[in-house]
Amino acid sequence: MCKIITVANQKGGVSKTTSVRNLAYSLGELGLRVLAVDYDPQSNLSASLVLEDTHEIGTTIANLMTMAMDEEKLPPKSAYVSQRGKIDFIPNDIHLSVVESNLRLEMGSEKLLFNILEPLCEDYDYILIDTNPSLGPLTINALSAADSVLITINPEFYATIGLQDLTKTILKIKRRINPKIEFEGILMTMCDMQTNLHKEVSAEVNEAYRGGMRVFKTSIPRSIRVGEANRCGMSIMEYDPKSKAGLAYMEFAKELSGYAG
């Protein structure tokens, strides 16, 4: 059964895109069928997956959303789903920012992304949606399409500030639009494991959300290898799977999926 997970946080710089990419590849390494969706106008996920061939991107999620708003028939899956290694992905470009503006004026637009993804669910175990750092129409669309939301945060002081607004938005969407959505949990990223700051923020997050939301046992360490992998257009699983970050993302994939192999 397919699970659609939206990775969200209105705060930027918390490794949403990096986590979508590396989680997708790690799940793929576990033998699971994964589709990654670039739903951020910055299109960093697409850029990292298509490398220098950005001019060869065909139909994007922005195109599909425009077609959905115009009530046009969508093209076959082969026209917009690409493959990279063991994962599939739907690319994106800057035109998604135009879509976001139009969504504000579109009646009943909250379910458009779900209507695009729902027919694809039979082909995948997981669909991961990368979002932009806001609580605007695109993020609301992504949350309305999801079975659960994964929140990434990095261990800075006041890391939980802003999460209250995000959780309120998710709960409002659950009441009004998407009753099935649940909290997948909180993933700590870019962690310096031995520092007092990491320990203090981890304790703060666990204290704030204990009993109300899962905080994953796995934390992703800060690692120059992740930056090197991004620069080379590779996931950490392709670049250095035995690095601390590579091992952590694999452990996180197992924890999230319940993999027991």
In this prediction, residue 142 carries a pLDDT of: 97
Domain presence at residue 96: yes
Residue 165 has a CB neighbour count (10 Å cut-off) of 11
Domain presence at residue 198: no
* pTM score of the predicted model: 0.94
Quote the number of domains for the chain.
Answer: 1
Query: Domain holding 9: CATH number?
Result: 3.40.50.300
Range of the domain at 243: 3-151+224-257
Residue 196 has a CB neighbour count (10 Å cut-off) of 8
Domain presence at residue 209: no
Please, are residues 24 and 36 in contact by the beta-carbon 8 Å criterion? yes
In order along its 261 residues, the chain shows pLDDT tens digits of 899 999 999 888 899 999 999 999 999 999 999 999 999 999 999 988 875 555 567 899 999 999 999 999 999 999 999 999 899 999 999 899 999 999 988 888 999 999 999 999 999 999 999 999 998 999 999 999 999 999 999 887 666 677 888 889 999 999 999 999 999 999 999 888 777 777 787 887 878 777 778 999 999 999 999 989 988 888 999 999 999 999 999 999 999 999 866
Domain presence at residue 39: yes
Contacts of residue 193, defined as CB under 8 A and 6 or more positions apart, other chains included, come to 219, 221
Domain presence at residue 190: no
Domain presence at residue 247: yes
